């Protein structure tokens, strides 16, 4: 009986004195390599992956990156728009792979002005939601913060086009420079119009 009782008492004592361990991950500082398509990679991939993931891979052929993007979309339901899939594969194949002939341009439709379409295409909704915090703040919180700020439009425009961190937490927001001024205005106006109901 002692053989069972003593180990059981020790185990109970150990559990009773165990402390909760909190792990604080370092702030993300890595970024994807500059080049055509980097904004697409930032908007679609940084919500879930560190940019270090790509740079740690040995150079892989296009088939590898095609399979990776397909896996992210199919298995993990990454919301990568179908019309951006090939450009994303081309970016990784060229920047982190062995494909030196991958297309070097990323087509982005500069005529899109609908803010919700822009938010989807640019990957904004990977990190933001209208009424609840995801990785970044809820758009209703952004609208509330700047509700009485005469420079609200300028501040939100700068956050979109320059990115940064520190205003809402430590997770950096990438810069989005491929949108036209009219598209940035449309997106910023929409964000600022999201009043809590």
Domains in the chain, start-ordered, CATH in brackets?
Answer: 33-107 (1.10.760.10), 112-197 (1.10.760.10)
Cα–Cα distance between 43 and 187 in angstroms, integer?
15
Q: pLDDT tens digit string along 116-131?
A: 999 988 888 888 999 9
Q: Which pLDDT value is given to residue 121?
A: 84
The pLDDT of 80-85, averaged and rounded, is 87
Two structure tokens written together for 35: 């080049």
Whether the Cβ atoms of residue 171 and residue 28 lie closer than 8 Å to each other: yes
**DSSP-assigned beta bridge partners for residue 97:** 60
pLDDT score of 150: 95
pLDDT band of residue 1 (cuts 50, 70, 90) is low
Quick: pLDDT tens for 12-33.
655 556 677 776 656 556 678 8
Q: In the structure, what pLDDT confidence band is assigned to residue 46 with cuts at 50, 70 and 90? A: confident
Q: Give me 70's structure tokens.
A: 């397909």
Nearest to 54 by CA among 75, 77, 38, 70: 38
What pLDDT does 26 receive? 60
**So what's the pLDDT on residue 6?**
65
What's the pLDDT score for residue 148? 94
Q: 192: closest CA among 160, 161, 156?
A: 156
pLDDT at 29: 61
Please compute the mean of the pLDDT values over residues 35-56 and round it to a whole number.
Answer: 82
Average pLDDT for residues 45-52, to the nearest whole number? 81
Could you tell me the pLDDT band of residue 66, with boundaries at 50, 70 and 90? Answer: very high
CA terminus-to-terminus distance, the chain = 65
SS3 for 85-113 is HHHHHHHHHHHCECCCCCCCCCCCCCCCC
CA dihedral sign of residues 89, 92, 95, 100: negative
Kindly report, residue by residue over 138-187, the tens digit of the pLDDT.
999 999 999 999 999 999 999 999 887 777 877 778 888 888 999 999 99
> 113: burial class by Cβ within 10 Å (0-12, 13-18, 19+)?
middle
> Among 109, 117, 123, which residue's Cα sits nearest to residue 179?
109
Degrees, nearest 5: CA angle 99-100-105: 100
Q: Answer whether 188's CB lies under 8 Å from 157's CB.
A: yes
Q: Which pLDDT value is given to residue 39?
A: 82
CB atoms inside a 10 Å sphere around CB 33 = 15
Determine contact, residues 191/142, Cβ cutoff 8 Å.
Answer: yes
- Predicted local confidence at residue 63, as pLDDT: 93
């Amino acid at each position: 009986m002692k053989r069972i009782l003593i180990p059981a008492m020790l185990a109970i004592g150990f559990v009773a004195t165990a402390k909760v361990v909190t792990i604080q991950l370092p702030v993300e500082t890595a970024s994807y390599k500059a080049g055509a398509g980097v904004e697409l990679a930032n908007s679609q991939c940084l919500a879930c992956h560190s940019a270090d993931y790509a740079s740690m891979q040995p150079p892989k052929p296009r088939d590898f990156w095609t399979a990776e993007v397909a896996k992210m979309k199919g298995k993990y339901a990454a919301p990568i728009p179908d019309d951006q899939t090939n450009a994303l594969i081309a970016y990784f194949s060229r920047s982190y792979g062995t494909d030196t002939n991958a297309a070097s341009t990323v087509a982005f439709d500069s005529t899109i002005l609908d803010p919700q379409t822009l938010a989807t295409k640019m990957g904004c909704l990977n990190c933001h939601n209208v009424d609840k915090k995801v990785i970044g703040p809820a758009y209703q919180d952004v609208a509330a913060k700047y509700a009485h700020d005469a420079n609200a439009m300028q501040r939100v425009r700068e956050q979109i086009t320059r990115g940064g961190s520190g205003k809402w937490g430590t997770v950096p927001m990438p810069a989005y420079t491929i949108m036209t001024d009219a598209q940035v205005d449309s997106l910023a106006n929409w964000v600022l119009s999201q009043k809590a109901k």
